Structure 1
């Protein structure tokens, strides 16, 4: 099943069920007005939404309409909680090396995670607006999961059943600010502006054999200004899994329905897969050529992130955003 939110629904969007081809949609106010409302009562809403999805696929929804991605907000235009991990240790090692920081002693025993901005997310086609070009803005191509209510103390085995939706994520990072912000010891604040998510969120059953309950094993493609940056496989070199991240976050608190957890910029040790962010490309260039050649974002640049299934069908739709002045 694929779900999205129309911008026309106000600050929290208007929930629609989307067909597999991302070409048609149908509103479902009789089930839930927003995706967050559906998450709050997922055990009741999910089977009803799945029934609508089956009818939409069969062409049996008379009130279906042609879907335009430009009309969509983020699946969750805002949320109660956004947590982002960094489980591709190859990426973490490179990112820290670039800013001259050492790896934490426990980085292989406990996932690295921060709590990010969640009161507003960018739509998949909405420009990313920044106050200036001097902050070395970068993208991070990620896969995120959405949870129902998770009790405190949930372990990794129990956590699998709480994953209800999967989305793509662009976790923007202002690299110039990480160098001064992280040494303070209080984590990200200014260095992490709002994030953006794919046009649709999908239930794990849509992912077939690529989803095993722990990770999604498909290439995640990213481009900047039409230039392919990389296509690392999200299921390769993943040191901690999504259930690991959930269990880590729930160790001392419960997680409310609609909590979003990302796993960090996808990065493979095989550099032939390319990169999931500009910073990694620059580190590679410095080692290979003695100087970074790929610039961080400038106003007018366009970033695109997308994932395809084995048949070549876009699963989530593409995040495609221009970088503009605020």
Structure 2
């Protein structure tokens, strides 16, 4: 594959992250993290705020070095000074990196020149990217007139221009409307199907389930589990999730429920309820509701859910993904 005028030979692993460690003073932000991504695979990093996702992405992209471990991109060791390794990636940050007074086409041409694309090759890539992201009909319009979703799509397009082996998407759908969100997800799916390796972070569990071939769940800087959605769901041991909404003394209700056989974990659901991880939810549901009511909680809504990726996340971290 030609990248910015250079030819790169890749192995069967586009990204290899080995035993990464990063410390900030006395705080260990990333602790012995390892994973791999192969061509055409979308790999998700899921974790609550502060889990280490952004720090991992920064090291993968060579923005700063790890204190331990290594990153290899398409057969080349990554470091802040490794130009070749950086040519193999396309980094799409959460923050928009576009010029509002330029059109979409002008933005892409500008960044294409920075990426080393020249002449007809750059023109062809700009046209392909505009079409891929559904922006061809607005290509000549100043981007300051774009919706938030269109700006997000253009941001992704900039990262794609030079045909990176690895595309890093850091929460690419934050703050966009549902239609633009679906367009972005469809574009990522097409990229993966065409052989691009994708490293994807998100706060939307349904995005991870829809897009990711494998997922690593992070908490406190460490990988708690890794695998496909189905493989991760087996980690709950068939546990169900019960959401209790209501008013009253939540702390007392949680204490009372905790003693019921089959209740594995209890977490607050904001200020208006409790989320439980349990075995055989339907069988013990009556005891749970009775126990909560006796302890002073007025239950207004009950929902029982079979195991899913959200259940796994809660089971492993004790938090909701958005916490």
State the TM-score, normalized to the length of structure 2. 0.23
- Structure number having the greater helix percentage: 2
Structure with max Cα Rg: 2
- The structure showing larger relative contact order (alpha-carbon pairs under 8 Å, at least 6 residues apart) is 1
State the TM-score, normalized to the length of structure 1. 0.23
- Structure number having the greater strand percentage: 2
